[in-house]
Amino acid sequence: MKKILSLLAALVFTQAQAKELDKYDCGQHYCRIPGNKSSGIFRDVLIKKIFDERAFKSGAGADYEFSFPQENQEFTSFQGQMNFAELRSFFPIFKTQSKGNSLTYLDSGATAQMPQSVIDEIVAYYATYKSNVGRGMYEFAEHATSKFEEARVKVARFIGAKKEEIVFTSGATASINLAAHIWADCHIGAGDEIIVSEVEHNANFIPWQQLALKKGAVLKRVPLSDKGVVEVETLKQYLCKKTKLVAITQQSNILGTISDIAGIVSAAHAVGAKVLVDGAQSIVHRKIDVKALDCDFFAFSAHKLFGPTGVGVLYIKQAIFDQCQLCNFGGGMVYSVSPEVTEFKGMPHRLEPGTQPIAQVIGLGAAIDFIEKNINFEQAQEHETALVLKLATALQEIPGVTIISPVPGLGEHNSMVTFTSDTIHAYDIAEYLSERNVAVRAGFHCAQLYHDKLGGNATVRASFTFYNTFDEVDFLIECLKKLLLV
């Protein structure tokens, strides 16, 4: 009888706690008490610990089944020999044909294709457990929350961060704009200086241009070296005590060149400036370690990483959490609300109000799984560079063609070839290739300012990744010669 009374007392306590914690809207962590339909919802580890201790004292013990994800070991890339032909077969789009030709997709710099495993994960969410995250108490809603938070852990491991430092957004552009609103807007004022490079994508230029106009700040553009990178010594000539932010791309989406981010960060920090890195292009071609780079913000999107569109990531260094203000408000980001005051969750959930891009986040997690299982960055770089060299060598033999992107030398890497023709407009070249089921990018690539420096002409860009083949390059060269050697 005494044991039964003790268990009943524990059950009453459990239900009361669950009711009290209900208002926290599921928080970061959650658990289900075995055999009890009423779940305890814990807003953080401290409350979980208190609940465990009180339940233990009441005689219920603390033997709960927690389903929130745990921290994992450091991300390690695939160590075997990559089979490029087999990897290509994992992408269903390459089984399609148009106008009698197989698809030659040379626009991964704009968006990469998705392997079947990523598609399957996204479909599984919609088909078998579609629900909101951090809210529902039913089983498959809890499963959705687990998958969502597991993806956050995967992203953190992938770039060498803590899961609390990973904020999900709708894309790299949204990530950069979020950094502008939560940090720059309250730390940059009249007379302060922001530095970007002259080759920035509009997504990493316009937000700072507009902020500078709003605040009366000064926006400076650092020129590139002859190799198409931002040299640290050149940057130092622009840095001063007024510099508050350096916003820089790691890998150019026009040139494919990679700047020394660690050196740039060190120089910027020396004058007290923060650094935001646009990693939209680099994230897919090399191992990223934000701790080694020491950057304050790092932005990228899933769709260039063999994942879905509609989701991006903003890494925020934990050391500057207390310097960030809130800018978007709604459900899912709060612990409690009263008529007078709102108590907000900690990072990163306080920056993720409302319903998140759940299927897309889960798809991003699946894309990282695919990379970890199949991709060795060094081998992929060697393959991409060989494709670039083959195309560049052929283009150099065609009269009137000018290659804009640097041709990689010994030990260097590039994943794209950007060029112009004196005789045929870039759009006409792209249209001609499209008729033969060859996909390239033509235009200003969201970087019109740098094109203006080059003379204002649109360019053609062929961008490569591991699923591209030498046969595709041969076919592209054949098509271009038929068009340009008339």
pLDDT digits (tens, 9 = 90+) for 370-385: 999 999 999 999 999 9
Residues 444 and 189: their CA atoms lie apart, in Å, by 32
Q: Are residues 312 and 385 in the same domain?
A: no
Question: 365 pLDDT exceeds 90?
Answer: yes
Look up the CATH number of the domain holding residue 391. Answer: 3.90.1150.10
Q: Are residues 244 and 320 in the same domain?
A: yes
Q: Are residues 221 and 367 in the same domain?
A: yes
Mean pLDDT over residues 109-133, rounded? 97
Question: 296 pLDDT exceeds 50?
Answer: yes
Q: In terms of Cα–Cα distance, which of 116, 176, 218 is closest to 467?
A: 116
Q: Which range marks the domain in which residue 42 is found? A: 2-66
> What pLDDT was estimated at residue 135?
84
Give yes or no for a contact between 410 and 389, defined as CB atoms under 8 angstroms apart: no
Q: Are residues 368 and 383 in the same domain?
A: no
Number of domains forming the structure of the chain: 3
Q: Are residues 195 and 300 in the same domain?
A: yes
In this structure, of 40-49, 157-166, 244-253, 415-424, the range with the lowest mean pLDDT score is 40-49
| 283 part of a folded domain | yes
| 109 part of a folded domain | no
> What pLDDT was estimated at residue 72?
53
Residue 137's pLDDT band, with cuts at 50, 70 and 90, is confident
Question: 33 pLDDT exceeds 90?
Answer: no
Residues 333 and 344: their CA atoms lie apart, in Å, by 6
Question: 418 pLDDT exceeds 90?
Answer: yes
Q: Are residues 334 and 408 in the same domain?
A: no
| Mean pLDDT taken over the chain | 88
> What pLDDT was estimated at residue 201?
97
Question: 56 pLDDT exceeds 80?
Answer: no
Residue at which a domain ends, from 66, 86, 113: 66
Residue 136's pLDDT band, with cuts at 50, 70 and 90, is confident
Q: Are residues 44 and 152 in the same domain?
A: no
Question: 66 pLDDT exceeds 90?
Answer: no
Q: What is the pLDDT of residues 2-29, one digit of tens each?
A: 555 555 454 444 444 443 344 334 444 4
Residues 464 and 483: their CA atoms lie apart, in Å, by 22
Q: Are residues 193 and 296 in the same domain?
A: yes
Residue at which a domain ends, from 51, 66, 81: 66
Question: 39 pLDDT exceeds 60?
Answer: no
Mean pLDDT over residues 141-165, rounded? 95
Q: Are residues 365 and 381 in the same domain?
A: no
pTM: 0.88
| 402 part of a folded domain | yes
Look up the CATH number of the domain holding residue 352. Answer: 3.40.640.10
Q: Are residues 154 and 298 in the same domain?
A: yes
| 76 part of a folded domain | no
Mean pLDDT over residues 120-139, rounded? 93
Residue at which a domain ends, from 48, 66, 84: 66
Residues 5 and 1: their CA atoms lie apart, in Å, by 6
| 235 part of a folded domain | yes
> What own/partner pairs with CB < 8 Å and gap ≥ 24 does 53-60 have?
54/13, 54/17, 55/10, 55/13, 55/14, 58/6, 58/9, 58/10, 58/13, 59/3, 59/6, 59/7, 59/9, 59/10, 60/6, 60/7, 60/10, 60/11, 60/13, 60/14
Mean pLDDT over residues 480-484, rounded? 96
Catalytic residue positions?
Answer: 446
> What pLDDT was estimated at residue 92?
97
Q: Are residues 419 and 337 in the same domain?
A: no
Q: Are residues 249 and 316 in the same domain?
A: yes
| 238 part of a folded domain | yes
Question: 41 pLDDT exceeds 60?
Answer: no
Helix (H) or strand (E) holding 392: helix 377-395
